[in-house]
């Protein structure tokens, strides 16, 4: 099935399944059932089977699913991804300290900013380089993904620059709705929107 036909919720759950399977792999578990996966992610066995069925026949009735590489290949995390971070502010600093990126195969190699007081310094061991060097750096280092942790007012300008590179994807932490070239995939991570969704659920759950 084509990737654009897969429900976004399924892709999100696949990531949860993969995280659970990684834990099982670390415990030397070789096979798991849909029941095991469902219990590990607080889901249902039927949903697990339905999600995995989008991608072919992975399990065998009465035997289960192989733990190693089951979902990593589907998600594209069976090999490392090269990333850069744009924005050396508070959010950018927090993102460089997040160990989950590298553990899942996403490695930030450099940080870019336009603040002359930060350029030339390091952020969690990563060099802070000027935005003017970003295009050349991406092409020379075969960077795959750019993480944007910049103010809303400058996010589109950065996206325009990225359209001039070989970058494949953008993870956008700014509130801006970006317009980019067709070759770049975008994921919008708006923490305020997520909190509003949470507040809506809480309000309706506890409302008299």
Structural domain for 53, as ranges: 3-73
> Per DSSP, what are the bridge partners of residue 107?
82
CATH of the domain at 26: 1.10.10.10
Instruction: Look at residues 73, 90, 109 and tell me which one is the last residue of a structural domain.
Output: 73
Q: Which run of H or of E encompasses 94? A: helix 90-96
47, 73, 99 - which closes a domain: 73
Whether residue 29 sits in one domain with residue 96: no
Backbone angles phi, psi at 129, to 5 degrees: -110, 155
State the average pLDDT over residues 56-75: 72
> Is residue 88 in a domain?
yes
| Segment 112-166, tens digit of pLDDT | 999 999 999 999 999 999 999 999 999 999 999 999 999 999 999 999 999 999 9
Instruction: From 26, 27, 22, 55, select the one nearest 37 (Cα to Cα).
Output: 22
Domain termination site, one of 41, 73, 105: 73
Q: Model confidence over 87-109: pLDDT tens digits? A: 999 999 999 999 889 888 899 99
Question: What single DSSP character describes residue 167?
Answer: -
Same domain, 91 and 178: yes
For the chain, the domain total comes to 2
**DSSP-assigned states of every residue in 103-159:** HTTEEEEEEEE--TTTTTSEETTEEEEEGGGHHHHHHHHT--EEEE-S-HHHHHHHH
Whether residue 33 lies inside any domain: the answer is: yes
Predicted pLDDT of residue 69:
73
In a domain, 200, yes or no: no
**Is residue 83's pLDDT more than 60?**
yes
In terms of pLDDT, which residue wins out, 144 or 71? 144
Residue 138, Cβ density class (10 Å: 0-12 exposed, 13-18 middle, ≥19 buried): buried
Which residues fall within 8 angstroms of residue 78, CB to CB, at 6 or more apart? 69, 72, 105
- The secondary structure element, H or E, covering residue 66 is strand 65-66
In whole angstroms, what is the distance from residue 126 CA to residue 81 CA? Answer: 16
Same domain? 89 vs 67? no
Angle between the 152-162 and 134-141 helix axes, to the nearest 10 degrees? Answer: 50
CATH assignment at residue 88:
3.40.50.720
């Amino acid at each position: 099935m084509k990737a654009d036909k897969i429900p976004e919720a399924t892709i999100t759950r696949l990531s949860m399944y993969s995280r659970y399977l990684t834990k099982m792999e670390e415990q030397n578990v070789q096979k798991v059932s849909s029941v095991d996966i469902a219990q590990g992610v607080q889901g249902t066995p039927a949903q697990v089977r339905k999600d995995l069925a989008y991608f072919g026949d992975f399990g065998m009735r009465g035997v289960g699913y192989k733990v190693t590489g089951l979902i990593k290949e589907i998600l594209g995390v069976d090999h490392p991804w090269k990333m850069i971070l744009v924005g050396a502010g508070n959010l950018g600093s927090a993102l460089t300290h997040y160990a989950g990126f590298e553990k899942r195969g996403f490695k930030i190699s450099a940080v870019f900013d336009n603040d002359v007081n930060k350029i030339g310094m390091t952020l969690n061991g990563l060099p802070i380089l000027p935005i003017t060097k970003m295009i050349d750096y991406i092409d020379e280092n075969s960077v795959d993904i750019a993480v944007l942790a910049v103010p809303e007012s400058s996010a589109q300008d950065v996206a325009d620059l990225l359209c001039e590179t070989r970058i494949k994807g953008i993870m956008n932490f700014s509130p801006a709705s970006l317009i980019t070239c067709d070759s770049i995939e975008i994921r919008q991570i708006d923490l305020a929107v997520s909190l509003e969704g949470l507040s809506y659920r809480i309000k309706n759950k506890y409302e008299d």
